Structure 1
């Protein structure tokens, strides 16, 4: 993958991909969500937060992905990458198969590609105001963009604690959890997302489309 940064272009070939789940900072709200999902058959996590292991090849900078069946949806997440000892912050979508979640959340994460924006910020440039960064996403419904997620990183566990909770070595990438979906989780063929830094007056943006492959038994 190739990224634009304030220091010029950066190449990154990750050897490990972590998808952190259940990372909400409000632990009571996280437990409520776990209970809600359990009621519809989604297994509860063994620990909170939980670090799902996924294939690095799932990361993509293409503007179109293909999924199996119509039950997948995206979710905007902070994206961390450690490259030659430097930690970078970016933006990614954890496209997930919601039907497969009822069997295994880990399997539902692994089956979908993870679109990643092509811009990175140095982590040390934003670490003192991370909670002020605004994360947003939109899905296209009835040919119009509808707000799907909106909030700040203050709703997610501190990124430093997420890195401390696992082995975050060189060539590791991590998706760091997300915000609740406005109006509930639902599929959207077109997805766009942004990470806005009001302090340094800059924004990372990315969008992609999803083509559905027919599940043939």
Structure 2
């Protein structure tokens, strides 16, 4: 899958796509979430953090994605990319099949496209300010846009640590984990996401809608 980014001479062919999970910096909070999911029948991770390998065909920059059934939802996440030996930072959505998650978290990650924002920043420019970067996600519910996720990267493990925990190399993209959902995890018709750099007064945005396909038997 090839991605292109506005403002950069970067046309990246993704050869390896990783979705990092259970990346919260507060381990007590991570364990609480694991316990909550266990009550729903979702098996705990084999390690924390955990790196899910998914198909390199999943990244998309389309304005609409198609998913099977009503039980999917997106999550705003920082995105790391390596191209020609250089690191870039962007924003992406780990759109996931929540119904399938009960059977297999790995399968639920593989089941949905991964929307990617159309801009990236030079990682070296922001590496000293990562904890101050802000993630935000709004969802459309009943014709209104409501805050769904909001916080800073200080809530996520340091990105350098996440890279060191897996085979992160050339033409690799990694979604680096997310923030808690305000009001609980739930589906939505559309998403507006952003990664904000307050020190430089700039942001990367990502917006997409969801087309739901029927489940037939």
Q: Give the SS at the match of 1:92.
A: strand
1:116-155 paired onto structure 2 within 5 Å: 116-155=116-155
**Matched residue SS, 1:149:** strand
| Cα distance in structure 2, aligned partners of 1:42 and 1:50 | 15
Q: Give the structure-2-normalised TM-score.
A: 0.98
Q: Secondary structure at the match of 2:23?
A: coil
Aligned twin of 1:55: 55
SS at match of 1:12: strand
Take 1:190 and 1:67, find their aligned partners in 2: how far apart are those partners?
Answer: 12
Q: Please give the residue correspondences for 1:47-196 in structure 2 after superposition, counting only pairs within 5 Å.
A: 47-196=47-196
Distance 2:42 2:138 in 1: 25
- Corresponding residue for 1:204? 204
Q: Which sections of structure 2, spanning at least 5 residues, go unmatched?
A: none
Alpha-carbon offset, residue 68 of structure 1: 0.3
SS at structure 2 position matched to 1:56: coil
1:16 paired residue number: 16
List structure 1 runs of 4+ shifted beyond 4 angstroms: none
What CA distance in whole angstroms lies between the structure 2 residues aligned with 1:31 and 1:206?
30
- The alignment partner of 2:161 has SS state of helix
The CA distance in 2 between the partners of 1:102 and 1:22, in whole Å, is 16
